[in-house]
Structure 1
């Protein structure tokens, strides 16, 4: 589950977009439309969709390719997609809201909220919640495993399997830590750490994590096309393009020229690290609300954008608390995230002056570099 763009400590005020100015208009940037069409030209990415909110609050939606390779139907404009690790932004905001409320401190140990729960077993015997802080989970410096031990052979064998968050955590606790928590100059992206944060938020708020996100974020800022799927929910609300993944041979190598429809599966394997579904325009609305202060106090947003080095990420990228700082080719720093769930690849970010872009394509294992290059171009555009 990859990520994309966010940084800077200064809180920049962005005008809140009302219903009238958020409405899509048929004014397309021809260069961006051509770039989106180039992404799908060879068919490895069947469909692409993008929503752009310009600096004045006007929204334009773009599509390219096909929404279904069998029927050759069009990609639905601003359709629902699995936003994968963009979910981490929502999880981080939920935690930081509890920090704003004085119910959590970023440097509190996990043990304070889940006593006796975080104790490693087997190879993970040294993992201990008394030595891991909330901040370390948020910025991936806890040392918790980057592995997903419950899906060793990918999504297909478990696509209809439901996983409870505690089951995900217990499996992660059998894995050796990547490094000691907070060890100098160490960073490792961990979905398990965000599953654990979901359990912390649930414990502190006294409600299921899905309710915490829905009540404190989604409903609070009026995101009508964003949701946290409930237990057993394997579908995506309509309209949506279909998501695909390439088949692999016995050696794990991709079989070129073929695609498997993986639109329907149980996303519980990702939990608070990557379970959510939304439309591109709604993700942009979330980014605007985050930046203009409707979700966090200035101090909370500043903490979110305090970054650490993120080895393995592209040059110029750093990780904050559930958000990434990304230096764009045009010299601007954008703020956001991104994610890869089976069948969908998404990238989302906002610039300091309020230009928000969310791009989604319907194969998470192809064209990643090309998508990032196009995403950078879309954020740097002036229209």
Structure 2
């Protein structure tokens, strides 16, 4: 997700816990350890409030820090939307209504042309894996200008492409995939995602708002990094790249179902988790993070004005954690990594906070 985040010195999980009087090896559930990191997001990264919900076989667990955030709140999820869009595309491929080797030109003839860009040379796979080289339209708009899909693509096409076949995160890829879904099915990506994912999984708090600027009730306030209230926001700043509105519980349920094989058969799911095309950085609508204890978690993050959210899950979907803050100002990858390590790693002194490849960035709708 260019430009890549500048690596920082990562905060050791044992240090995080020691600051709160919880030494490694002490008693407590893994969820308690993740709970312990939440206050650091408020104290160190100065977010107004943070919350998490973890889902496991034994049930769910909610925790929060700060004020103005509740477990049932609806919030904007930014690029978590990409996991939904990728799932729909892979379902259509499974139904033989498209192929990942199809060219963009074959579905959207004449659209991707100009400044060296050529849809005849780009496949749907390259869009899904962010290896198309297409420029990110949000680099021009800052993620704050409402656009139609065509407008977003035309902005991107004023820039020459990067090298094809190399991972370069671009929101333009998923705007195009949203257009492909409509071309193939005759329905918008929102309608198809609702029919294929939201309704079957009973994600009652999840929606694609279109141009609706308000959040469903209940919801808290959403703040920019500078403290501006952006609770009202036109979702067309993001479209298929980051439009989703959802809840903590719904995201946990979605990723548990996806990775648990309820939305895709084993073959397409393996393809979704294959990161070779993106040099290990990204699959299709999901990316892996290897934690210090050796556990790899899968999921996505999302940043949109007023919100940052991160979901991570074990590869089988049996344990899922979603955390969110009510601002786009959260910037500390060390704290995020500490929270994930606290949740998914056994409590041992060997939890070394080694640097990790992370496809995050400061771009909108990460």
- TM-score normalised by L of structure 1: 0.78
- Are 1:363 and 2:347 counterparts? no
1:159-204 Cα offsets, whole Å, 9 max, x none, are xxx421111111111122122x33xxx2100100110010001110
TM superposition shift of 1:33: 2.3
- Measure, in 1, the Cα distance between the counterparts of 2:55 and 2:116: 46
Runs of 4+ in 1 over 4 A off after TM superposition: none
Mapping 1:88-127, distance limit 5 Å: 88-120=82-114, 125-127=115-117
- SS of equivalent residue, structure 1 residue 261: coil
1:25-77 Cα offsets, whole Å, 9 max, x none, are xx9944332221221125720011111002x151111111011xxxxxxx212
- Are 1:380 and 2:345 counterparts? yes
- SS of equivalent residue, structure 1 residue 359: strand
1:51-106 Cα offsets, whole Å, 9 max, x none, are 1002x151111111011xxxxxxx21242121111111001001000000001111
- Measure, in 1, the Cα distance between the counterparts of 2:45 and 2:108: 47
TM superposition shift of 1:139: 0.4
- Measure, in 1, the Cα distance between the counterparts of 2:342 and 2:72: 19
- SS of equivalent residue, structure 1 residue 285: helix
- Are 1:348 and 2:311 counterparts? yes
Which range moved further: 167-176 or 372-381?
A: 372-381
Aligned to 2:263: 295
- Are 1:238 and 2:239 counterparts? no
Aligned to 2:124: 134
Unaligned 5+ segments in structure 2 are: 5-28, 348-366
Mapping 1:197-346, distance limit 5 Å: 197-231=177-211, 233-247=212-226, 259-308=227-276, 318-346=281-309
CA 309–99 in structure 1, closer or farther in 2 if over 3 Å, else same: closer
CA 43–172 in structure 1, closer or farther in 2 if over 3 Å, else same: closer
- TM-score normalised by L of structure 2: 0.82
TM superposition shift of 1:310: 5.6
- Measure, in 1, the Cα distance between the counterparts of 2:310 and 2:43: 19
| Contact residue 49 and residue 66 of structure 2 kept, 8 A | yes
Aligned to 1:39: 41
TM superposition shift of 1:340: 1.1
CA 28–178 in structure 1, closer or farther in 2 if over 3 Å, else same: closer
Aligned to 1:66: 67
- Measure, in 2, the Cα distance between the counterparts of 1:96 and 1:126: 28
CA 78–378 in structure 1, closer or farther in 2 if over 3 Å, else same: farther
Unaligned 5+ segments in structure 1 are: 4-26, 68-74, 248-258, 312-316
1:85-138 Cα offsets, whole Å, 9 max, x none, are 111100100100000000111111111111112212xxxx21111110000000
What is the aligned-residue RMSD (CA, Å)?
2.2
| Contact residue 54 and residue 322 of structure 2 kept, 8 A | yes
TM superposition shift of 1:273: 0.8
